[in-house]
Structure formats: C-alpha cells, structure tokens
Amino acid sequence: MMKRLIAKEWLELRRDGSFWMLLVILALLAVGAVLGAAEQARVQHEAWHAASAGERERWLQQEDKHPHSAAHYGLYAFRPAAPLAFFEPGLHPYLPVTVWLEAHRQNEALYRPAQDAGSAGRFGQLTPATIVTALLPLLVVLLAAPAIAGERERGTLRLLMAQGVAPGRWVLGKALALSVLLLLLLLPLWLLATAVLMFAAAETDALLRWLGTGVVVSLYLGGFLLICLLVSACCRTVRGALLILLGLWALGTLVAPRIVMEWAEWRHPTPTSLAFRQAIADDLGATAELDAMLAQRTAALLKEHEVERTSDLPVNLDGIRLQVGEEHGYAVFDEHFGRLHDGFLAQESLLQRFGLIAPYLAVTSATTALAGTDLLHYRHFFDSAEQYRRTIQALMNDYITRHPEQDGQRLSAGADLWATVPEFSYEGLRVSNALLSQASALTVLVLWFLVPGLGLLRVAPRLAP
Amino acid sequence: MVSDLAAAPGNSAPLELVDLHKRFGSQQALAGLDLTIQRGTCYALLGPNGAGKTTTLNILLGFLTPDQGRARIDGVDVLADPEGARRRLAYIPEQVQLYPRLTGFENLEYFHALGSTVAADTDMLRDCLRRAGLADAAHDRRVATYSKGMRQKVGIAIALARRAPVMLLDEPTSGLDPQAAWELNASLRDLAGQGITILMATHDLFRAREVASRIGILVAGRLRQDLDADSVAGAELETLYLEEVRQLQGTGP
Ligand SMILES: Nc1ncnc2c1ncn2[C@@H]1O[C@H](COP(=O)(O)OP(=O)(O)OP(=O)(O)O)[C@@H](O)[C@H]1O
Ligand SMILES: [Mg+2]
C-alpha cells in the first residue's frame, strides 16, 4: 500500500507543471549557492594561507631591536575559515578576521562589530542555510498542506475511506510518500555539497559536521512536514490549511525569533563597547594591585638570589616589571572578556531553549554551531590568539630579564630570538564540542519532531472524510 | 464471477438497519428508520430532497454516527467495526471525485490497490471500466479531461472491481447519458442476480421500477412504504409517493 501511495503521489507531482518550475528554480538556486560558496571558501582559504605566511615572514625578517620593541612591533593572527561557513556563515560576517597581537593590549576594539550587531543582524541574509531552514519549509507547506485537506475537499478521501482504506495507515503512507519525495529532492543537493567538501579535501571533522547538519535539518524539516500533515488532517479546505500553516511559518521564522532575541538581550544585557573599554581602563589603572604584585615578585627574587638590594640582582628588572605588568593585565582582561563572552553565550543558550516556541532559533543555533561559525567557536579562536600573544610576551620579557643592561647600552635582539616564537597554529574546536554546546537546541528539535508525530498518530485513525 | 465472494456469514440479512435516529441541530434527518434487505435484492430508496437518504448511506459507511439505533452490514456492526463493515461494501457516491492528473485507468488501479483485498490484474480492471460503459479510448486519458458522466463511470468501475457482497449507490445515474444509465441498470440487475445486495438512493421513480426488486419510500427520516416492485404499476407508485410526501410535508413538494 505504501509503495502504491508513494508512486501515486509522485505521478501526480510529475504531471504538475508548476512543481517542475519550482524544482528547477530551487535547484538552480541551491547549486549556484553551493558552488559559489565553495569557490568563495577556496579563495578565502588561499588568502588566509598567504596572509598567515606573509605575517610570519614579516615577524622573522624584522631588524634587530629591543625585545620589548619587538613586542610592540606586533603581528596579526588570522582566523581560518570555518569548515562549513559556505553553508552557514553564521556570525562570521560580523566577527573580525584578524586579531592584532601586541604588548599590553588585548584588542577589544576588534570585537566591536559583533557586540553592536548582536545576533539580530544575521537574519535577513540569504545564505544556503537560510534557504534550507527558512525557505524550504515553505515548499514543505505547499507540498503537504493539500495532502489530506485537499483530498477531503475534493472528495477523494471519502471514496478512499469507503473503499475500506484504514485512515491511520493512509496518513502514515502520505507522510512516508512526502518524506521520500522531499528526500529525493534534497539528497542530490546534500550529496553535491558533500562532494564539494570532499573535493576541498576537508578533514573528517568537517564531514562529521556536515553529516550532523544533514540530520539536524532533516529533523527540522521532518517536524515541519508532520505539523503540516496534522493541520491538513484537521482542516476542511486546502485554503484553511495553507492559511494556518503560512501563519505558523511566518510566526515561527520571522516574528518569534526577533522577539525572543530582543528578550534575550534584555535578560542578559552586554555593555556597549564604550562602557566596556572604560571598565577595562579603570581596572588597569588601579595601580595599587600592580604595585603589590611587583613588590611580591621582587621580594621573592631577592630571597631566591640571597641578596639585599635589587641592584645586586643578576637579572634585568625591566623584564620582570614588564612581565608583571602583563600578568596584571591578563587578570583584568580575562575577567572582563570572560563576562562579555558569558553574556553572549547566555543569550545564545536562551535562544536555544526558546526554540520550543520558535524552532527556527533552535535549528539556526545548531547549524551555526555545527558550521563552526557561532560565538563559541569564535571565542575559542580569540582565546587561542590571546594565549599566543601571552607566549610572545613571556618570551620577550624573559629574554630581557636574562640580559641585564651593561654600560647603559640599550639591549638589542635579532633573528635568533624572533625564531624562538613558534608559528601560530590554531586547532579549532571538534564537532563533539559543538554538539555538547547545543544540547538544548537538539532536545528542542527532537521534541519538534516527536510532538506533532504523536499528535498525528492520535488524529489519523479518527480521520473524518 | 462474483457469487463466491457474496456469500454472507451466518444467516443474517446483508443489510439490517434498526431504529436509526440522526439529528443535525434542530433538523431531524432520521427518525427511527427500520430497513432489512435480503440477499440478492436490489432495493431502491425513494424520497424527496432532505428525506435522509444520503444520511442513511453515510451511517452505513461509518462516516456518521447515529444518535440511536444500529446498522449491520453482512452481519458486521458499523459502529463496532466500521472498517470491517466498509470492507464488505462497494460504494458509488452522488458525485464521483477522482485524481484529475491520473488517467481513468490509473485512478481505478489506485483505488483498487489501496482499498481492496481482491488482487487485480490489468485485464480484469479494464474489463470493469468497459462494463461501467467507459470506452477503451478514454481509459488512458487524464481524468481532468473527463465529463461528469465519464467520472461517474470510473466510480462504477471502482465499485464493480471490489466484488463486495453489498453495494451502496447514491443517485447512481445522475450525469449519465441514457445509454450509460441503461447499461448501469442492466449491470445492477445482473449483479443482484449473482447474489449481490444493492441499496440505491434515487429520485427517479421510473428507473427505480425498472431496476429494483423492492422499493422503499423514505419521507422525513422514516420508511413510509416497503413495496415489492412487481406488485405496483408505475402510475400507482407515483400516486403513492406523492401522497406520502404531501401527507408529511403538509404542502406539496
Ligand atoms: N452535515 C449536515 N449538517 C447539518 N444538516 C445536515 C447534514 N447532512 C444532512 N443534513 C440535513 O439532514 C437532512 C437529510 O439530508 P440528506 O442529505 O440525508 O437528504 P437526502 O435524502 O440525501 O436528500 P437529496 O435527495 O437532496 O440528496 C436534510 O434536512 C439536511 O439538511
Ligand atoms: Mg442525498
């Protein structure tokens, strides 16, 4: 019976001209989006390679100078493109591509765009991900709204039921038929994107992420399909079902996410960039703490070398002072940036959970995390770059400390020291980290699929003709 | 070819309606309908518009639940086991609705495959279409291009292919050209002869007399007359009918 149902639905669709037109448009759109995005990703990757290598060269080739001058000479860390950014750019367009690494400062200024645009900015962008999660549900509505209501309105349902067809099995068959159809439509695109990924020599992690994205999107679209069938089963006319479903779509995709996002920002307010910088400056200016740290470190050194006066120490105190100054800054930066990030992440986890009323939020959250273009991934990169900056500072300051100035001659270092600084190599988060951060969103998506499914199982056997 | 499947389990009548009541708001559609139809009978249910004919068929199909009373098809209670009851039925609605993008043959094939327990091959199904009066040339044209009568014929073919022991028909000849109507009547007589029990709602007194072996007159939800078709002449039937209607409705129809 299921085979017959699927065959018949397919035959009807095949003979529907408007369906083919829709399909061709969708296919062109999707193929264009995937290929365009893949090419862009390739160009970006090359640019990233060139920029990283150039920057390394610039650091190694700098002329001889005082190590602290070298620390101020600075260098850029470049954020590598996320593996699936071609599908879901997420926050990337709003986040800096580079982090400037220099003594004394963590580059909060570079963080500004993300902070001011918030996550609200990313809606309204036509990316492959929004085509799939925002527009494709419309196709599902158009396909599934008439599935039951249409047969009821036309009268074929009456004739079918009079034939002794069990309505429960018939509805199940409809659901299956439509799922198979959707799968047949989407699978080629998914495979095309997979091929592009493999061709781009992506790592296993990226492929796992892509697989996860497929599952997440299937759950979301599947839930949508079940809701469409549930509404279709309860409506007398196709018009009624379409009206309700389009309303639900608009509410869930356009209206609710914005409201929830506003609410999340109100619930977990994050400071404006001006206030943020001011707060950091205030804490850095609190010299009492710095003086105490310095005194403590000097005392420890005196004891270690068993001397009375600092001038008798066999080390360069400038290096110690610089390093202590850095470490004082680290504590301040860590606290402020930690709080800022935590605020953003709290907003994001609220969005995930509010996916219950607007599952679009849940699916967006999950695909963005899987694509590696969310805040969590950015924070990881940002922290790694900061760690790298701290490594450079420690190396430079250590060199200064080990080289007391002689005869008032200014200390100078060269290529040998620069080469002790390792190349910045960034290991991104793994797919497991991404999944763990999305526990709420994934739960919401499973519920989004199960609840209408159970509803349909209850309604279907008592279907009215 | 049908008789083996038409055998009723036990010795209960294939159609048994007892004290059926159905009310829609203030409208009493059925007010205690009692009707028993014996095997191999073609029963014509006559009645004016709104008499409750379609309501009766809907109860037998399990699409409506009666407020009171019960109905059995081939011994199966329609309330207790609506799907089991439907399996024993073939039904031709007043307006046969099909899938316009499929051909007549594809429609028949689909409805049959989904609803019937009887396996069917292409030849058997094409034969049903022919017996329903649909010309071979039309079998493989899309239903969107069909006339109302052609759709009706596909509906008849669907019912014929089921080989069910009981057939329900609502205004079966509406929309059929005279030749097709005549062929359908011949078919029905033939089926009744093979032991199929037929209940057919109609307005057409002339056709009722021509095809049915028994005739009932339903007015205001109650069976007023239950006649042997051979025992009444055409003119007599018309007078009886009009009398019943006038009596109950006060004014003329
Ligand atoms: N779904 C419904 N809701 C409300 N009233 C209904 C419904 N179905 C039928 N009725 C009423 O019940 C009465 C019987 O209707 P029914 O359709 O059974 O008549 P009928 O004998 O088939 O008439 P016709 O010859 O016009 O087909 C009518 O008065 C009708 O208005
Ligand atoms: Mg009627």
Domain span holding position B168 = 15-249
Burial label for A18, CB within 10 Å (0-12, 13-18, 19+), is exposed
Domain span holding position A46 = 2-462
pLDDT digits (tens, 9 = 90+) for B65-95: 999 999 999 999 999 998 889 989 999 998 8
Tell me the pLDDT band of B249, cut-offs 50, 70 and 90: low
Inter-residue contact B211 to B22 (CB < 8 Å): no
pLDDT value, residue A273: 75
Cα distances from A296 to residues A289, A292, A300, A333, B158, in angstroms, run 11, 6, 6, 21, 97
Tell me, yes or no, whether B3 lies in a domain: no
Of A160-169, B99-108, B127-136, B207-216, give the range with the top mean pLDDT.
B99-108
Q: How far apart are CA A163 and CA A155, in angstroms?
A: 13
Query: What type of residue sits at position B193?
Result: G
Tell me, yes or no, whether B4 lies in a domain: no
pLDDT value, residue A116: 42
Nearest to A164 among B86, B98, B99 (CB): B86
Inter-residue contact A385 to A99 (CB < 8 Å): yes
pLDDT value, residue A149: 96
Nearest CA in chain A to B107: A8
Does the beta-carbon distance from A165 to B63 stay under 8 Å? no
Inter-residue contact B191 to B198 (CB < 8 Å): yes
Residue B210, Cα to own-chain centre: how many angstroms? 16
Q: In whole numbers, what is the pLDDT of chain B averaged over residues?
A: 87
Q: How far apart are CA A273 and CA A224, in angstroms?
A: 40
For chain B, give the percent of residues with pLDDT over 70: 94
Residue that wins the pLDDT comparison between B56 and A96:
B56
Does the beta-carbon distance from A8 to B110 stay under 8 Å? yes
- Tell me the backbone φ, ψ of residue A271, rounded to 5 degrees: -70, 155
Q: How many CB atoms lie within 10 A of CB B129?
A: 24
Q: How far apart are CA A41 and CA A37, in angstroms?
A: 6
Tell me, yes or no, whether B8 lies in a domain: no
Asked whether the predicted pLDDT for residue B38 surpasses 70, the reply is: yes
How many whole angstroms from A156 Cα to the centroid of ligand 2? Answer: 17
Contact with chain B for residue A465, Cβ under 8 A: yes
Residue that wins the pLDDT comparison between B205 and A146:
A146
Mutate to test the interface with A, among B60, B76, B105, B110 (most CBs of A within 10 A): B110
pLDDT value, residue A119: 44
Tell me, yes or no, whether B1 lies in a domain: no
Tell me the pLDDT band of B10, cut-offs 50, 70 and 90: low
**Pocket residue to mutate for ligand 1, from B27, B61, B248, most atoms within 8 A of Cβ:** B27
Give the position, in ligand 1's atom list, of the atom nearest the Cα of B47: 21
Instruction: Map A292-340 to HEC letters.
Output: HHHHHHHHHHHHHHCCCCHHHCCCCHHHHHHHHHHHHHHHHHHHHHHHH
Does the beta-carbon distance from B95 to A154 stay under 8 Å? no
| ipTM field | 0.87
How many whole angstroms from B203 Cα to the centroid of ligand 2? Answer: 10
pLDDT value, residue A2: 77
A177: closest CA of chain B, how far (Å): 14
Asked whether the predicted pLDDT for residue B3 surpasses 80, the reply is: no
Tell me, yes or no, whether B6 lies in a domain: no
Tell me, yes or no, whether B2 lies in a domain: no
Tell me, yes or no, whether B211 lies in a domain: yes
Does the beta-carbon distance from A159 to B114 stay under 8 Å? no
pLDDT digits (tens, 9 = 90+) for B125-183: 999 999 888 999 999 999 999 988 899 889 999 999 988 999 999 988 887 888 888 88
Torsion over CA: B150, B152, B155, B159 (sign)? negative
pLDDT value, residue A125: 63
The count of domains in chain A is 1
Instruction: Write the CATH number for B149.
Output: 3.40.50.300
Residue B74, Cα to own-chain centre: how many angstroms? 15
Report strand pairing: B89-92 vs B166-170. parallel
The protein residues having their C-beta less than 5 angstroms from ligand 2 (an ion) are B 54
Please list the ranges in chain A whose pLDDT falls under 70. 106-125, 201-202
Nearest CA in chain B to A163: B115
The count of domains in chain B is 1
pLDDT value, residue A184: 83
Q: How far apart are CA A127 and CA A92, in angstroms?
A: 12
Asked whether the predicted pLDDT for residue B4 surpasses 50, the reply is: no
Does the beta-carbon distance from B87 to A155 stay under 8 Å? no
